[in-house]
C-alpha cells in the first residue's frame, strides 16, 4: 500500500480500491489494483465464477480521481469532502476476475467552480475493462 494514497484520499481498507500509483501529473493519474481473489466480495459475486463488481470498478476510478484532485490542490481537506455527483457514459467491455491486475487511468478534463470533470478507464493485460466519465464536487463536511 502506497502511504501517499492514504495521505491524499480519505478511503481506507477494506473500502480502498487502489494499491499503488504508476504515474501522476496534474492532468493524469495511473493507479493499480491487484485482485487477489481473497477479497470478501468475490465470495458472493459470484460463487464458483467470481467477477469484480462493476460498481467497485467505478469506485476504484473515483478514488483515483480523488487522488488526482488532491494532487491538483482541489481535493478534500479538513473541512471539505469530494463526492461524486455525476456519472456518465459508463461502459463495461470485459470482466475483471481474481488474479487480474487492473490499471486505472483518470484524466482531468476541467474544473468549473467546485466541480472537477474527469474521464476514467480500466484496463487489464491491454484489454479495456471499463470506461467512464464522472464529476466530483467539493462539499462542506457535515
Point out the residues that are catalytic: 45
- 102's CB contacts (< 8 A; 6+ apart) are 32, 33, 34, 35, 52, 57, 60, 96, 122, 123, 124, 129
User: 36-45 — which CB contacts under 8 Å span 24+ positions?
Assistant: 36/98, 36/99, 37/98, 37/99, 39/14, 40/14, 42/98
Amino acid at each position: 500500500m502506497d502511504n501517499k494514497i492514504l495521505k491524499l484520499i480519505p478511503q481506507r481498507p477494506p473500502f480502498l480500491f487502489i494499491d499503488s500509483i504508476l504515474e501522476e501529473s496534474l492532468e493524469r493519474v495511473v493507479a493499480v489494483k491487484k485482485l487477489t481473489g481473497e477479497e470478501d466480495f468475490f465470495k458472493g459475486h459470484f460463487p464458483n465464477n467470481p467477477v469484480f463488481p462493476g460498481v467497485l470498478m467505478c469506485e476504484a476510478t473515483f478514488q483515483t480521481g480523488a487522488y488526482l484532485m488532491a494532487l491538483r490542490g482541489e481535493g478534500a481537506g479538513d473541512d471539505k469532502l469530494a463526492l461524486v455527483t455525476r456519472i456518465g457514459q459508463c461502459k463495461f467491455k470485459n470482466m475483471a476476475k481474481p488474479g487480474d491486475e487492473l490499471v486505472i487511468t483518470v484524466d482531468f478534463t476541467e474544473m468549473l467552480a467546485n466541480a472537477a470533470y474527469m474521464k476514467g478507464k480500466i484496463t487489464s493485460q491491454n484489454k479495456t475493462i471499463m470506461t467512464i466519465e464522472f464529476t466530483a464536487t467539493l462539499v462542506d463536511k457535515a
